[in-house]
Structure 1
């Protein structure tokens, strides 16, 4: 049997439990791995609350990204072999001792990248990478990231700066130092945010990566001349209302290869701010759900 952490009913954290389940068997195009690390993301609690739909057979296992060692390869999962160190998007939950990955959304882990580092790449880092790609700015232009202090924003800021793009980011006063560590200009979010953006960038910004939506996105859009350069990851309705668009995702596998190479070369730091053992999965998810986490949280699995 294999230990996993999941939920028995849709709703709040009171429905979270540890489960014993059979080691999953890979289907076509899938890899079965022994999990070594799993990422903790806002999408995890949103799935548990039923905010993304209620189509899972319950009990469900939490977690959408993981890294580990291949133990079995399904039909058609070409390019992978038993014993490979891999990371990617899970099928059936990553908060577990064993899980399945979709081979097309997985990649081999370079030796210079730890399992913890690799587990931080498939969701937040890949979203940050695709967001910067989608906004489409060039060196010398300025990108505003709304909600910069989380896992997506932390990576997006570094990707943009790597390309010579200037970065501004909104966050709370408490996270000002963290934002500045990313090499970005900190902007306090909330009422008056547009005025503060223009104080930092008098000519406005060339693009916006919106990770939060709502009132701040509406206010910030006034500092952007070309509204098609507004890309959102969490509020497609507001983005469309403002003349922007929802993020377009690239094929996951090739993106993961690029991100792992950046980590291996020291050019990308996912800002992993805490690791927890699987036994403390509830505490880790509570940090993310409460909005207290900055950077990225990872579960380590023994």
Structure 2
């Protein structure tokens, strides 16, 4: 008899009413995949954007489709061509496109899976593959030098929190644009907080009359247009949220590395005590809907995690 595992899915494109926790057959890992028993899964804006259908042309899915793009857990099976990972390993990584991380078991892409050190919590490891790796890739692309000024647009979210810390440790001055209620969080990261909203560029100019050297945008749209003029060289605008608007103002989207090399790098910072991804809310699998809603509402500070088993 096949084993059934609880998996959080959406059954058709649209709103949260299309989400459900169901039981389905335990999947087998295909080539370049590992099957893990999930201990924790990160929740990201991309999860509800996929459900809404924003990415359906580049990422077509069969229904019901699993929710969650990052997870941490214990390897249960490995695909036939996988090397360097074994049953029983504690790992974290990017979920395969056909799977979902918010589940009792999930398939990870072996090439973007890394080992979790024993002293790092499952919840912390689970939130590194998407937001922390995106922050790492964005900073690498911008290649800021020590002493330069980086504006992070949307500094209070998961990517921004990590980017601010990584930039700080590279001796880059960080200006964090975020809502007024996230001022304490942004300043705790060593960044200068500037309130988002109308006239944001004027508020930045009050602090930095000469503008900034680079922009890492995590919001897009009009919020990106509002700050784009603060940088002298538009090619030093990189976005993880809105490549179309970035191109409009002369910038580009984040070029993702997508390999375990980046996961090892950010985990090294975490294990050394230099990086805290700020996991601020956790929900059990039975409350996955509430976890996704917290991110979809845009009010989450730091990261939201769904915990499973353990």
TM-score relative to the length of structure 2: 0.95
Instruction: Tell me how far 1:56 sits from its aligned partner.
Output: 1.1
Instruction: Select which of 18, 32, 38 maps to 1:29.
Output: 32
What CA deviation, in whole Å up to 9, does each residue of 1:14-53 have, x standing for no partner? Answer: 1111111111100011101000000001111111111110
Structure 2 partner of 1:201: 208
Structure 2 partner of 1:60: 65
Instruction: Select which of 80, 86, 92 maps to 1:75.
Output: 80
- The CA distance in 2 between the partners of 1:6 and 1:251, in whole Å, is 24
Instruction: Select which of 85, 94, 114 maps to 1:89.
Output: 94
- The CA distance in 1 between the partners of 2:62 and 2:247, in whole Å, is 33
Structure 2 partner of 1:249: 256
- The CA distance in 2 between the partners of 1:62 and 1:204, in whole Å, is 40
What CA deviation, in whole Å up to 9, does each residue of 1:112-154 have, x standing for no partner? Answer: 2111110010001100111111111011111000011000000
Between Structure 1 and Structure 2, how many residues are aligned? Answer: 302
Structure 2 gaps of 5+ residues are none
Instruction: Tell me how far 1:183 sits from its aligned partner.
Output: 1.1
Instruction: Tell me how far 1:3 sits from its aligned partner.
Output: 0.6
- Secondary structure in structure 2 of the residue aligned to 1:11: coil
- Secondary structure in structure 1 of the residue aligned to 2:229: helix
- The CA distance in 2 between the partners of 1:17 and 1:199, in whole Å, is 48
Whether the aligned pair in 2 keeps the contact of 1:210 and 1:217 (CA below 8 Å) is yes
Moved over 3 A (4+): none
Instruction: Tell me how far 1:249 sits from its aligned partner.
Output: 1.2
Instruction: Tell me how far 1:297 sits from its aligned partner.
Output: 0.5
Whether the aligned pair in 2 keeps the contact of 1:126 and 1:252 (CA below 8 Å) is no
Instruction: Tell me how far 1:215 sits from its aligned partner.
Output: 2.0
| Residues 1:291 and 2:263 aligned together | no
- The CA distance in 2 between the partners of 1:279 and 1:223, in whole Å, is 45
- Secondary structure in structure 2 of the residue aligned to 1:76: coil
Structure 1 partner of 2:43: 40
- The CA distance in 2 between the partners of 1:48 and 1:240, in whole Å, is 25
Equivalences for 1:103-122 in 2 at 5 Å? 103-122=110-129
- Secondary structure in structure 1 of the residue aligned to 2:62: coil
Q: Which moved more, 1:7-16 or 1:260-269?
A: 7-16
- The CA distance in 1 between the partners of 2:225 and 2:275, in whole Å, is 30
- Secondary structure in structure 2 of the residue aligned to 1:33: strand
**In 2 relative to 1, CA 251–5 (structure 1 residues): closer, same or farther, beyond 3 Å?**
closer
- The CA distance in 2 between the partners of 1:237 and 1:52, in whole Å, is 14
Equivalences for 1:95-244 in 2 at 5 Å? 95-244=102-251
- The CA distance in 2 between the partners of 1:278 and 1:18, in whole Å, is 8
TM-score relative to the length of structure 1: 0.98
Structure 1 gaps of 5+ residues are none
Structure 1 partner of 2:278: 271
